[in-house]
Structure 1
Amino acid sequence: MLAYSTYSEAGGVGKTTTAANLAVAHARAGLKPLVVPLDPQDGDLSRLFGVDEDRTEPVDNLVRHMIRRPKGDFGDLVRTVEGVDVVPEHNMLSDVGEYLQREKDQAEAMGEAFGVHAQLLRVLREAGVPDEYDVLICDPPATEGPHLYNAIHATRSLVIPVEPSAKGRAAVEGLEALVAGLEEQLEVDVGVLAAVPIGFKNTRDQQTILGEIEYDIPEVIGERASLMEGCWMQQCSAFRYVREFRDRTRDYEVETLAQFDRIARHLEAAVGIEAPNPPEPGDLDHGVLSA
């Protein structure tokens, strides 16, 4: 199983759109992906895919499963969109740290162990996710805390969207220390599968910054603000947006889709997964997935 979290210390670098488009790229190739977004903010992956209508309702949700108080089966949480299974975010995520700490206190009072950073992994294992799915993608917030720690404990690998700027350089420079700290705190090995520069304009400074990144860079994505804003407006992936909502084909946008396809193949190859039906990169007619 391929498992990774999209993560960057810097906000606004396209972390969520990267997770969504890679998930669709995996699905286009015939794999079965599950996406677990963990960002308590409203502008999250559930919103992007249009499956967040129950986030304020008193319904079963992932947090209830993490604190061992589910109202139903894990599978009942899952929504499918564009061939991707998604566990929608819920407002309870805003207070997940408090919920987990209360459960830990109660467990310890009963003489039981309760690892606050291992509960997502427990939920996924008990639900049979490693056997049912080919790909697991977690999309935690940029800030450190229980959302991020549970995501990394569950996936053990990172895909890092990078802003090719001084801000992005600082985020990458701090990543090694962050990974080392996470490994020590969580007592797991954490690897970086790829860095994905986004918003590249091919300036001299940006070229220098890219040359300093020590992680694999399978693709460098250019400035695509209009495309990504369109995805949020229409609540869909870039693949669906270009196919259904653009009035004409723009070659540079099709090339961006091809890049997501190629990044997905790179990640799959990193763990020895061969997709059963990979498309020609950027082929809009391959494996068309409905909303």
Structure 2
Amino acid sequence: MLSYAVYSEAGGVGKTTLSANLAVAHARAGLDVLVIPLDPQDGDLSYLFDVDQDRADSETDTLVHHLVNREKGDFLDLIQTVEHGVDIIPEHNRLEDLGEALRKEQEARSDFGESFPMWTQLQRVLREANVHQQYDVLIVDPPASSGPQLYNALDATRNLVLPLEPSGKGQASVSGLDDLVTNLEEQLEINIGVLAAVPNRVKGTRDQDAIIEEIQSQGFDVPVIFRDRTSLLEGCWRKKCSAFTYIDTHRDRQRDYELETLAQFDQLARHLEAQGNVDAPNPPEPGRLDHERGTKEVQV
């Protein structure tokens, strides 16, 4: 199974949008995909896929219940299916208190001489649910801040996809990519692979080109570079869907540069699948919309 967390220290770099479109790109190729968003903020992946209606329901079973062994039902009952057959565990407001819930459970176990490692609970839940046997791809979308959501995401996936903005604002995070990965490895005492660094909102300036070259000189793989597609991605949030569905359903006409962006999502998904030794059974021509399968490939 291919597993990775889409993560950036900086906010506003398109992390959640990238997670959603990669999930759909994997699913379009015939793979079974599970997405686990762990960001407690509104405007998250559950909102983008329009499955956040129960996030404030105090009576519903949640992932947090399962992480602290207080589940109300089967883990698989948490899953909802969204566009293109992508499965997702919707976020819940209880994620805001995940750290406190984990600490309380750890203290309770300690009173009885039992161990409860707080950062490995997502991995435990997934293993007990045999997720690795039921899915080809696992994507976890943690918040930008350090904490139990991020640490559980990394322990469960052991791989990172790093979206970044090659700008003055993002320069510090770009320069610190090596240190970021090293620090996370040391904190969790695990090895973390970086499957790809993904520049986003690129306008082709000399400064941006220099930053991208710096990323590559650090040894990070940069398989695609996304141009600035603000209109497209804002439309996705407005209509609560991926870019694939937005262009196919909500655009009045096809725009070549937007189809090229879809092709890049597909190409990035194939790259990540190759990294994880996962063979997609039915990969589409890059960027080809579902109702156009079999027509001429979009050139990028």
TM-score normalised according to structure 1 size: 0.97
Question: Does structure 1 retain, via aligned residues, the 8 Å contact 2:160–2:192?
Answer: yes
Q: What SS does the aligned partner of 1:221 have?
A: coil
How far 1:169 sits from its partner (Å)? Answer: 2.4
Q: What SS does the aligned partner of 2:118 have?
A: coil
The answer to whether the aligner puts 1:12 opposite 2:9 as a matched pair is no
* Aligned residues: CA RMSD: 1.1
Q: What SS does the aligned partner of 1:70 have?
A: coil
Q: What SS does the aligned partner of 1:166 have?
A: coil
1:220 is matched by which residue type in structure 2? I
Question: Does structure 2 retain, via aligned residues, the 8 Å contact 1:279–1:286?
Answer: no
Question: Does structure 2 retain, via aligned residues, the 8 Å contact 1:4–1:158?
Answer: yes
| Structure 2 match to 1:251 | 256
> d(CA) in 1 for partners of 2:291 and 2:221?
27
The answer to whether the aligner puts 1:43 opposite 2:43 as a matched pair is yes
How far 1:111 sits from its partner (Å)? Answer: 0.6
| Structure 1 match to 2:82 | 81
1:54-113 residue CA offsets vs partner (Å, 9 max, x unmatched): 000020010000010000001100000111000000000001000000000001111111
Q: Which moved more, 1:160-169 or 1:71-80?
A: 160-169
Partner residue of 1:228 out of 215, 230, 233 = 233
How far 1:175 sits from its partner (Å)? Answer: 2.5
| Structure 2 match to 1:279 | 284
| Structure 1 match to 2:56 | 56
| Structure 1 match to 2:267 | 262
| Structure 1 match to 2:298 | none
1:165 is matched by which residue type in structure 2? S
> d(CA) in 1 for partners of 2:211 and 2:69?
45
Question: Does structure 1 retain, via aligned residues, the 8 Å contact 2:48–2:237?
Answer: yes
How far 1:287 sits from its partner (Å)? Answer: 9.2
> d(CA) in 1 for partners of 2:202 and 2:195?
20
In percent, how many aligned pairs have the same letter? 63
Question: Does structure 1 retain, via aligned residues, the 8 Å contact 2:166–2:174?
Answer: no
2:20 is matched by which residue type in structure 1? A
TM-score normalised according to structure 2 size: 0.94
> d(CA) in 1 for partners of 2:169 and 2:150?
21
How far 1:273 sits from its partner (Å)? Answer: 1.1
> d(CA) in 1 for partners of 2:115 and 2:223?
41
How far 1:265 sits from its partner (Å)? Answer: 0.1
The answer to whether the aligner puts 1:242 opposite 2:243 as a matched pair is no
| Structure 1 match to 2:28 | 28
1:129 is matched by which residue type in structure 2? V
> d(CA) in 2 for partners of 1:287 and 1:72?
41
Question: Does structure 2 retain, via aligned residues, the 8 Å contact 1:158–1:190?
Answer: yes
Question: Does structure 2 retain, via aligned residues, the 8 Å contact 1:28–1:287?
Answer: no
> d(CA) in 1 for partners of 2:57 and 2:176?
38
| Structure 2 match to 1:185 | 187
| Structure 1 match to 2:296 | none
1:29 is matched by which residue type in structure 2? A
How far 1:286 sits from its partner (Å)? Answer: 5.8
> d(CA) in 2 for partners of 1:126 and 1:245?
40
How far 1:178 sits from its partner (Å)? Answer: 2.1
How far 1:170 sits from its partner (Å)? Answer: 1.1
User: Where do 5+ consecutive residues of structure 2 fail to align?
Assistant: 294-300
Question: Does structure 2 retain, via aligned residues, the 8 Å contact 1:64–1:70?
Answer: yes
> d(CA) in 2 for partners of 1:149 and 1:171?
19
| Structure 2 match to 1:2 | 2
How far 1:174 sits from its partner (Å)? Answer: 2.0
> d(CA) in 1 for partners of 2:156 and 2:177?
19
The answer to whether the aligner puts 1:136 opposite 2:141 as a matched pair is no
> d(CA) in 2 for partners of 1:165 and 1:219?
17
Moved over 3 A (4+): none
Question: Does structure 2 retain, via aligned residues, the 8 Å contact 1:38–1:138?
Answer: yes
| Structure 2 match to 1:70 | 71
How far 1:164 sits from its partner (Å)? Answer: 1.1
> d(CA) in 2 for partners of 1:35 and 1:147?
14
Partner residue of 2:126 out of 124, 127, 140 = 124
2:272 is matched by which residue type in structure 1? L
Aligned residues: 288
